[in-house]
Structure 1
Amino acid sequence: MKEFIAAAVQIAVKPNDIKYNLEKVGFWLETAVKEHDAELVVFPESITTGFAPGIPLEEFYDLLNFIPGPETDQIGAIARKLKVHVVLPLYEKRKEKNVIMNSSVLINDEGEITGVYRKTHPFPTERIGGGGWTTPGKEAVVVDTKLGKIGMIICYDGDFPELSRVLAIQGAEIITRPSALLRSFEIWDMTNKARAYDNHVYVIAVNSVGADAEDNYYFGSSMIINPIAQKLAQARGTEEIISAKLDPDPLKHVTYGSSSPMIFDHLQDRNIEVYKDILKKAKSPFEPAKRIPYNH
């Protein structure tokens, strides 16, 4: 990993207006590069449409495009011009009718798609099996770039330590988490810090602001966390850009401000024999008010 500046661009969408939203992404992308010298720019979840579609599944499917497609072409051209890496989160339609994936596309500084992650843990109301609109992905993704090794998750994925751990085992140095999270700032803050600290990785967590098509209002508070759980930058609840310089040697000390050298490694120090039950199916002993089944 090299030293570089990463930026989180926290902007609101015009629900389901892909053309407008792409133009806005392009403007803010240029701003992040020109005003922050960013080499990696990450946008919120489903930035081309907003999170909840507010229209029937068939109509939403027809609105969307494949990957690669017009959205990735347009932002790829800007990335190439600006020489910047971009994480562009958007809904993706598949060849099978009405199959929609919640995806995150990594575009390099040549404008090329170098990785596509498809959300493996859609939120219960988002899942097609729960009356929603998306189908879960089935693959963890880490991309080796000029900047470093970048792993990708999306929103609710961050509640599952197993996924981020797999990315770290696969070599991720940075995990991007575009989101449209509504639950609470405390959960958002805690899970971002925990995933960074658990795995000794940087987490760039970018939350939505404004409303989607179903009038869900998002609180923003995007943040960049380093591998010892220090918050390098945090946004407010408005449209804005935050940025931070990522140090390629972030584990010098056990915690921020300490002179004690780092002596542990959460990956190397795992006692794997103890975790042999990790792949067994399970459910919480505390019954949720409404359980929505997960259809793999």
Structure 2
Amino acid sequence: MPRNSSELSIASIQMVSTPSLNENLEVAARLIKAAADSEAQLAVLPEYFCLMGLKDTDKVKIREAAGSGPIQERLAEMAKENSIYLVAGSIPLEAKESNKVLNTSLVFDPTGKQIARYDKMHLFGFQTEDERYEESETIAAGSQPGKFAISVNEVDWYFGLSICYDLRFPELYRALGQVDCHIIPAAFTYTTGKDHWEILLRARAIENQCYVLSSAQGGLHLNQRRTWGESMLIDPWGDVLSNLPEGEGFIQGKLSKNKLKEVRSKLPALKHRKL
């Protein structure tokens, strides 16, 4: 059956990553192939897909220079082998400070060429009696919003890039302008995810009248960190089209130009903005 040119088939991959880089890359490769075999044209990996270390500093040890390194080479191979657009969640790239990394999302086209990059801007900090997270201790913040465009069957598709904690800052999404879909790889904690994850994702879809595609870590990791999961595809009206509550796997769906036009024409809120 021929594909509808006004639709784009997508997949969001959910993982429960471990402290083993090689193991995580193999899982990612297997799930990307499964998504491609199910006719996905674009796939997204979660934040920290390549490593959930036993210590926060573990990611510094595997950092790579931009454009060079075994992680980036393997990702390019995965995209090329499966003839798919691949949004590679986040990997650790070298930062100016030797004891920190940039938490970076890279986008590869079906030939394996890197076509976009986004360094996470907002760094998570959270503390209770039982939990403490302070990303700024090992991660350097990015400074520029990220977006990219692709053309499939002579139809142009526009995407915004953000990562996890960025989700809480709606001004970032306004700064990115009008897109067809915001892609949000994440590793939300169970504590914050159960209360805020779906609400925030649906809000970003509704207020920007676009699809939101999130790819999450989802389960109990060997470092005893528990992530929320619930990878989701949400449409421009705020309806959840597909989700995976927990565990390893992927969700599928389609982005529709017709749905985007329908929502934006019946409620032209983006044209009514004053600020």
Q: TM-score, normalised by structure 1?
A: 0.81
Counterpart of 2:140? 135
**What's the secondary structure of 2:73's corresponding residue?**
helix
Counterpart of 1:237? 246
Counterpart of 2:151? 146
Task: Establish whether residue 268 from structure 1 lines up as the match of residue 246 from structure 2.
Answer: no
Is 1:185–1:221's contact at 8 Å kept on the other side of the alignment? no
Counterpart of 2:51? 49
Structure possessing the higher radius of gyration over alpha carbons: 1
| Structure 1 residue 2 displacement after superposition | 4.3
Q: Distance in 2 between matches of 1:160 and 1:191?
A: 10
The residue identity in structure 2 corresponding to 1:37 is E
Counterpart of 1:100? 101
Cα distance change of structure 1 residues 213 and 228 upon mapping to structure 2, 3 Å threshold: same
| Structure 1 residue 56 displacement after superposition | 6.5
The residue identity in structure 2 corresponding to 1:144 is A
Greater helix share, 1 or 2? Answer: 2
Counterpart of 2:63? 64
* CA-to-aligned-CA distance 1:129-187 (integer Å, 9 cap, x gap): xxx311111000111112511111111101111111212x1x42111111111113341
Alignment size in residue pairs: 256
Q: Which runs of 5+ in 1 are unaligned?
A: 255-260, 273-296
Calculate the aligned-residue CA RMSD, in Å.
Answer: 1.9
**What's the secondary structure of 1:214's corresponding residue?**
coil
The residue identity in structure 2 corresponding to 1:235 is L
| Structure 1 residue 266 displacement after superposition | 2.8
Poorly superposed stretches of 4+, deviation over 6 Å: none
1:120-199 alignment to 2 at 5 Å?
120-124=121-125, 125-128=133-136, 132-147=137-152, 148-167=157-176, 169=177, 171-182=178-189, 183-199=192-208
The residue identity in structure 1 corresponding to 2:70 is P
* CA-to-aligned-CA distance 1:82-101 (integer Å, 9 cap, x gap): 11011112222235412311
Identity in percent: 25
| Structure 1 residue 241 displacement after superposition | 1.2
Q: Distance in 1 between matches of 2:237 and 2:253?
A: 15
Q: Distance in 2 between matches of 1:93 and 1:211?
A: 28
Q: Distance in 2 between matches of 1:203 and 1:251?
A: 12
